[in-house]
Structure 1
Amino acid sequence: MARSSSVDMDPDVARRLFEEGATLVLLGVPQGTEFGIDCKSWKVGPRFQGIKMIPPGLHFISYCSVNPPSCGGEVGPKTGLFLSLKPRDLLLANWNPKEEDFDFSATQNEEEVSRVRANLQDLDPYLGPYPYELMRKWVSLTDRLSEEVAKNLQPLSGRVCAFSDVIPETEFRHTKDRAEQPRNDMACQTMREGLDRLPKMKQREGTQLRFSVIPEKAYPAGATPAQITQCSLDLTYALETVLNENHQERPLDLLGELQFAFVCFLMGNVYEGFEHWKRLLTLLCRAETAMQKHKELYLGLIAVLYHQLGEIPPDFFVDIVSQDNFLTSTLQDFFQMASGPGVDVALRKRAEKFKAHLTKKFSWDFDADLDEYSPVVVDLPEGFTVG
């Protein structure tokens, strides 16, 4: 594990982090394991026993178990967790080879933690320094994400997993239960038949990310056809529903959720995080009335997106976003609505600067005419209902 991050650090900063920084002691980690904290990851060597000089605050650690070269050297799925660290904190974890995961129960043992703290000087050569040169990047990606929001969004298990942990919906404990299931030893006539024979699966309890639920319908119950059309063009009703049900006291925490989803995807390889990020972004960028009401929320959104889009790999848009041109079309709607007469002047100017920045950085054309793709709004005859 590289130790160069402290070489170019300001001496005063280094001394302060040495005195006030948190320490993560990780014992028994197999050589070759991929381990990361925040924006940097490594393959650990035989001497690795943790990270020192960690700035207090919220952090995300991630890790992948790796088979030894004699067994193929395959890398396992990534697991991550958010940690909130205080000054001079010491967290102690042991690697569980059976679960291929960290066991933090030792942190609850005050006697064990005191023993390790007393021997920190001996452990120091085996502790890698926090990559402080990337601290500013990490803060820019999580400045709206509080410890409380992260705790409420992460799974009850505390682990953010790249692949869902699924189990059968029905436990076949008895021979009779298994006998009643479709037989798999007979040839399937169609793909659908084959899929129907597979056991129905569900995500293991406590492993689900607890994102805000976005309403399936963007309009209120009993809405008229005209109201349905309006709510589909202006997603304010759906956005306000999410805010009222999840972030009523602190609407700006929705930006923290946007950052949480982005970190889960970018650092944790969780595709569900990317999908939720897209859904939240769609709500925010296509809610014209809300844009006029929640000035601070939208000023914050521009700042969040500025840093997020600055960290995405260059080929990201080619591989994922450009498949349906999601980002450019969504932001085009945002910039169009942000230029409206009812929008705060400061927000309008900030949006114009952001639009110019993205146009220059990515060569995106936000002024292309999309009228031919716009939904057609019609007035239905009185008494006509949508069944």
Structure 2
Amino acid sequence: MEGPSADMDPELARQLFFEGATLVILGVPERSEFGIDANSWQVGPRFRGVKMVPPGVHFIHYCVTRNGGAPGETGPRTGIFLHLEQKDIRLLHWNPQDEEMVPAPQEEADKLREQLMSLDPFLGPYPYESMRRWVSLSSHIKKEVITKLQPKCGSIYAFPEVLPTEQMTHTEDRTRHNLPRYDSVCQSYKEGMARLPLMKQREGTEIRFSQLPAKMYPENATPAEVTQHSMDLSYALGCLLETYYPGQPLELLGELQFSFVCFLLGNVYEGFEQWKMLLNLLCRAETFAFQHPALYIEVISVLYHQLAEVPTDFFIDIVSQDNFLTSTLQVLFSFLCSPSMDKALRKKAMRFRAHLTKKFQWDFEEEPLDCAPLVVELPEAGEGDSNALVHNATS
């Protein structure tokens, strides 16, 4: 990590050193990759941490260099969300056995305060030139969101440890579950997969994402109401908010950003899946959008900065050449840009649609495939009598 920018005022640098937070990190193997927020570096022999860190939420991430590995070859990425106060000091030790950073007790970290000047040559400065980018990706991630979502173990793993739900080491164990013997010959790929034991993530390592309600429609809903709630997901969105963020709908945007950062910087595919789920819910909740225009103004701002981080072809399914984001946003714009929508929200949505059309060359004018009518042939009711029922594809 390089020193402060050459054009930074020395007095300002001194003030940032004492007013900003400090991360002291001891024992990280050389040539490992270490990053904070949207920045990453290769660890050198003098590295002991980061100084001048602005107060607020930050995401540190690292990949350790494996012994005997090829140059530049690192293990899977691990990340930690931190909320730092002004003049805060955090101490992390490298655990070589588990190959991860372990936070030290705060009392031990506080003892380092008097040694800050001596540690200064070994601390890399926080890169303030990239701070704006990080803030745009994390503006809604508050301390409460981190506490709610971060795994109980404190670390977010790109490839978390998984364990079998049952050992099933003996033939009789597999017979009890109607699984084939280990010593029998596989007849197909499907059979081979069936021989693998059921796995679950090690307890305490799961990101505690919110979950969709079991039913997307109210109890005792009529078939027409079920269809309506399948097209307009406002009921499902309201249930999710009531369960996880009662009275605090903006905190859902914190989870939207949390999941995106987990994927973008932490290499966690589960984060991408959660981001897609939340985005789909928000983009298909028409009634909710009319009732909460201020929330959707923030949704557009969050998406604007997130989509600036990915290449233009990122969301295209390489198998079907379908872009899930185009069809999802198409639904969103269909009601955000309607004349009856809140004026400020409508204007922002139209500008965002124009921006995406220009940058990604996405066509939002065609009718979404999942909104096209689907004709379902019914069984014959009598001699030569047939009927057709038109359904919406989302029902």
Normalising by structure 1, we get a TM-score of: 0.90
- Name structure 2 gaps, 5 residues minimum: 379-395
Which residue pairs with 2:24 in the alignment?
25
Which residue pairs with 2:77 in the alignment?
78
Task: For residues 160-180 of structure 1, give each alpha carbon's deviation from its aligned partner in whole angstroms, at most 9, with x where no partner exists.
Answer: 111132101014588975897
CA distance in 2, matches of 1:371, 1:169: 40
1:130 to 2:126 alignment: yes
CA distance in 1, matches of 2:32, 2:313: 26
Counterpart of 1:77, as a letter, is P
Secondary structure of 1:29 counterpart: coil
Counterpart of 1:350, as a letter, is K
Cα displacement (A) at 1:12:
5.8
Counterpart of 2:198, as a letter, is K
CA distance in 1, matches of 2:133, 2:94: 29
Cα displacement (A) at 1:310:
1.2
Which residue pairs with 1:64 in the alignment?
63
Secondary structure of 1:42 counterpart: strand
Which residue pairs with 2:143 in the alignment?
147
Which residue pairs with 1:268 in the alignment?
266
CA distance in 2, matches of 1:319, 1:17: 45
Secondary structure of 1:250 counterpart: coil
Q: Is the 8 A contact 1:79 1:159 kept in 2?
A: yes
Secondary structure of 1:239 counterpart: helix
CA distance in 2, matches of 1:128, 1:163: 28
Instruction: Among all aligned residue pairs of Structure 1 and Structure 2, give the percentage whose two residues are the same amino acid.
Output: 57
CA distance in 2, matches of 1:270, 1:305: 19
Bigger share in helix: 1
Task: For residues 183-234 of structure 1, give each alpha carbon's deviation from its aligned partner in whole angstroms, at most 9, with x where no partner exists.
Answer: 3232111222211211111111111111111135422232211111111111
The 5-angstrom pairing of residues 362-377 of structure 1 reads 362-370=360-368, 374-376=372-374
Which residue pairs with 2:291 in the alignment?
293
Q: Is the 8 A contact 2:217 2:229 kept in 1?
A: yes
Q: 1:282 aligns with which of 263, 276, 280?
A: 280
CA distance in 2, matches of 1:321, 1:154: 33
In structure 2, the CA distance between the partners of 1:4 and 1:366, relative to structure 1 (3 Å rule), is farther
The 5-angstrom pairing of residues 215-234 of structure 1 reads 215-234=213-232
Counterpart of 1:311, as a letter, is E
Which residue pairs with 1:43 in the alignment?
42
Counterpart of 1:31, as a letter, is E
1:326 to 2:324 alignment: yes
Counterpart of 1:207, as a letter, is T
- Name structure 1 gaps, 5 residues minimum: 381-387
Which residue pairs with 1:156 in the alignment?
152
Cα displacement (A) at 1:261:
0.6
Q: Is the 8 A contact 2:327 2:369 kept in 1?
A: no
Which residue pairs with 1:94 in the alignment?
93
Which residue pairs with 1:383 in the alignment?
none
1:118 to 2:117 alignment: no
Cα displacement (A) at 1:75:
1.3
Q: Is the 8 A contact 1:295 1:344 kept in 2?
A: yes
In structure 2, the CA distance between the partners of 1:362 and 1:26, relative to structure 1 (3 Å rule), is same
Which residue pairs with 2:242 in the alignment?
244
Q: Is the 8 A contact 1:321 1:327 kept in 2?
A: no
Counterpart of 2:365, as a letter, is D
Cα displacement (A) at 1:377:
8.6
Q: Is the 8 A contact 1:229 1:377 kept in 2?
A: no
Q: CA RMSD in A?
A: 2.7
Aligned residue pairs total 377
Cα displacement (A) at 1:77:
0.7
